[in-house]
Structure 1
């Protein structure tokens, strides 16, 4: 425990770069690596939409949606507790991570059993065979391991290792998908295999890397388990609610329309979500600095954080609106079958801007450890999104789903900002009136 803290201190002391420069360089690395990771579906779109019919692309979308749903259950969201506890020098980080992995193993067995029991309904809803449903459970466990490896590097400030790991995973994902879909003509199943094999492989690499670095102690600690579950379990409704907001539209389209429309909508959605990808990278880079400012409690730095947040909000809105105007040109890459999605992209880009704004304020709720409030808001808004999506889809088709997505993301941002203001007060009004000294971050 002590050695871990000393090691982190030595690494921090050996880095003589100004703090602002470290933040800027890390933001660039996170942006590039997140771009590579999140842009996989985007970069593959011009190829997949020519090799796969909208129905086949709809199957790929349903697998990705199912993977996201299972990811909300695998590990019971305790990887978020690891990211918070890594800042606590009194915690044995290796034992904490080991305990989290024990929780992952037990939860995966429970999820696999539930999927087997529900497989007739899941097959009918998704169109996927039962075998792929079970492979998705294993892939969700792999994603949990990948997230743990990335979280540790992020907390340590090792953005280059973080980015390299993500980039290599993307390269394997893309390479296998192209080989199986285009080279060996396996169709939609080739794309699903590319996604899954890349997750399995890099989960194994991440686990081996953590063990080699001494970051895992294979000892179950009941106290740490309770702490991780107290953090993670209340977040599960949040994860499920967020899934309803992010993917409920595809669930509704699959039920109310057909897989053809799912494929059309998902292709346009991938383009519009570039905004969310950029926002995620920026907030990953700023997150450790914001947590440090909150821990220090310095009033001047809090005003600086608020001003930076307002500038970020303005940038996100401008990016979302501007990106929407480019929609007709972006759709030219997808082929004639997919050219009807320009309006979808405009609404999704706006929703992505609101999603990025949400990411900036949710950090205060996590810091205050009030995840139960976040869960209540997410689940309520997520259920509302399902109802609104169904209402609008039945009237406006896929465009209605995009409108519901944008509305739900806006509401989520506003509600979580209000919760954040209650959980951890910040000078949201005073920062605009009081001058901030020109001091380095």
Structure 2
């Protein structure tokens, strides 16, 4: 009987994991599917400007969200459902405060597009909280519905606005940002109404409860700022710096190559999500040793070179066909970032092992060192030429591997110590 219950539980976990993976892949795949349409409508200059403002949005989200979704999840598992509405409300009011500051900054700088970035970050934070609410209460289909609704809304609003409203390049960039805002806005309203029906969440607003909820979010979120900033710097800062040092046309060609190559990370992270439970199971049962893990690590180092060779073998005419004639030069950046992103494969092998053994501090230290190396390389290389900027990502990806490898050896030494 117990074995039967265990099998059913494992089956449910695998099913839920698959649903979450499908949701994440759908959300991340839509920008890639829109890419050929956007590059043709916006051109290289418009696409470069859009990439810049989306990168700014990613940085604003760090301050706007302050890892509220993680705070919600922890609160639910530690304290239960009671008072969860107060945490949601406190987080929402904090985000409103950041939005008001952002609105004032945008007004002072006379930047309508910057305001759209702040508003997009605000709505992204609210939706992240709604997704966290579903995930911690094990509602995978609700989670998937929100992701699908957001993805479809993003697609439909973009096409509709571009079709019915004319304008120059700046207008088109603004229209794309407005489409993102509308998609997030409608999705959030629907998710919030659904949450009230599903979870019977009550908002009991008092100054004392608001202060406690805000204190809880700040206590958990502020220490994670460095981690979030480190991750976003390596993913977005290059486009911000390129926008300042090079033309929007060059940034458009560069960003298109990055986005095509980033489709590889969608596949890698989906496979990782599916394999992690099996890796942890093998580690728990001691069917996976450090020696075996290292053997897989050395084999996985061949994969980046194989994938890069495949990307290099693709004709540049393929980029012209996919993105438009002005983006033929994006082929070079696709090859470079396929190499950079495929280094995630050996990285995940090592980092998942360290996560299993709760070596979070060591992982954070490696991430900080890698980020500092990235910042230095990016600053130096961007002063040489745009063509060598991708090497900053490659160098930081290579630097972190021996550091993580060293800490996996330390885990084995500790296990052998009597």
Q: TM-score, normalised by structure 2?
A: 0.79
Q: Does 1:407 align with 2:395?
A: yes
DSSP 3-state at the match of 1:53: helix
Q: Does 1:177 align with 2:158?
A: yes
Give the distance between the partners of 2:413 and 2:264, measured in 1 at CA.
27
Q: Check the 8 A contact 1:364/1:420 in 2, yes or no.
A: yes
Q: Does 1:148 align with 2:129?
A: yes
Q: Check the 8 A contact 1:67/1:137 in 2, yes or no.
A: yes
* Structure 1 unmatched runs, 5+: 1-12, 124-128, 431-441
Q: Does 1:247 align with 2:236?
A: yes
Q: In the alignment, what sits opposite 1:271?
A: 260
Among candidates 93, 96, 99, match of residue 105 of structure 1: 93
Q: Deviations over 1:338-365 (max 9, x none)?
A: 1112231122123223346556666688
Change (3 A) 1:356 1:111: farther
Q: Check the 8 A contact 1:97/1:215 in 2, yes or no.
A: no
Give the distance between the partners of 2:106 and 2:369, measured in 1 at CA.
24
Q: In the alignment, what sits opposite 2:225?
A: 236
Among candidates 55, 58, 69, match of residue 65 of structure 1: 55
Q: Does 1:36 align with 2:26?
A: yes
Q: Does 1:258 align with 2:243?
A: no
Q: Check the 8 A contact 1:378/1:412 in 2, yes or no.
A: yes
How far the C-alpha of 1:251 sits from its partner, in A, is 1.4
Q: Does 1:52 align with 2:42?
A: yes
Deviates more, 1:323-332 or 1:256-265: 323-332
How far the C-alpha of 1:249 sits from its partner, in A, is 1.1
Give the distance between the partners of 1:369 and 1:107, measured in 2 at CA.
31
Q: In the alignment, what sits opposite 2:115?
A: 134
Q: Check the 8 A contact 2:123/2:184 in 1, yes or no.
A: yes
Give the distance between the partners of 1:173 and 1:239, measured in 2 at CA.
25
Q: TM-score, normalised by structure 1?
A: 0.75
Deviates more, 1:160-169 or 1:308-317: 308-317
Q: Check the 8 A contact 2:99/2:122 in 1, yes or no.
A: no
Change (3 A) 1:379 1:161: same
- Size of the aligned set, in residue pairs, is 401
Q: Provide the aligned C-alpha RMSD in A.
A: 4.0
1:156-167 mapped onto 2 (5 Å cutoff)? 156-167=137-148
Q: Check the 8 A contact 1:142/1:200 in 2, yes or no.
A: yes
Q: In the alignment, what sits opposite 2:187?
A: 202
Give the distance between the partners of 2:194 and 2:164, measured in 1 at CA.
32
Q: In the alignment, what sits opposite 1:77?
A: 67
DSSP 3-state at the match of 1:208: helix
1:312-351 mapped onto 2 (5 Å cutoff)? 318=303, 321-322=306-307, 325-326=310-311, 328=314, 331=319, 332-351=321-340
Change (3 A) 1:104 1:291: farther
Q: Deviations over 1:194-219 (max 9, x none)?
A: 11211122222222233322274435
Give the distance between the partners of 1:315 and 1:235, measured in 2 at CA.
30
1:117-132 mapped onto 2 (5 Å cutoff)? 117=105, 130-132=111-113
How far the C-alpha of 1:15 sits from its partner, in A, is 9.9
Q: Deviations over 1:11-38 (max 9, x none)?
A: xx9996472x555545544444333221
How far the C-alpha of 1:152 sits from its partner, in A, is 3.5
Give the distance between the partners of 1:207 and 1:356, measured in 2 at CA.
37
Give the distance between the partners of 1:47 and 1:69, measured in 2 at CA.
26
Give the distance between the partners of 1:82 and 1:414, measured in 2 at CA.
35
Q: Does 1:168 align with 2:149?
A: yes
Q: Check the 8 A contact 2:280/2:356 in 1, yes or no.
A: no
Q: Does 1:95 align with 2:83?
A: yes
Q: Deviations over 1:305-339 (max 9, x none)?
A: 99689869966963784266236355231111111
Q: Check the 8 A contact 1:145/1:206 in 2, yes or no.
A: no
Q: Check the 8 A contact 1:316/1:353 in 2, yes or no.
A: no
Q: Check the 8 A contact 1:249/1:389 in 2, yes or no.
A: yes
Change (3 A) 1:227 1:205: same
* Structure 2 unmatched runs, 5+: none
Q: In the alignment, what sits opposite 2:371?
A: 382
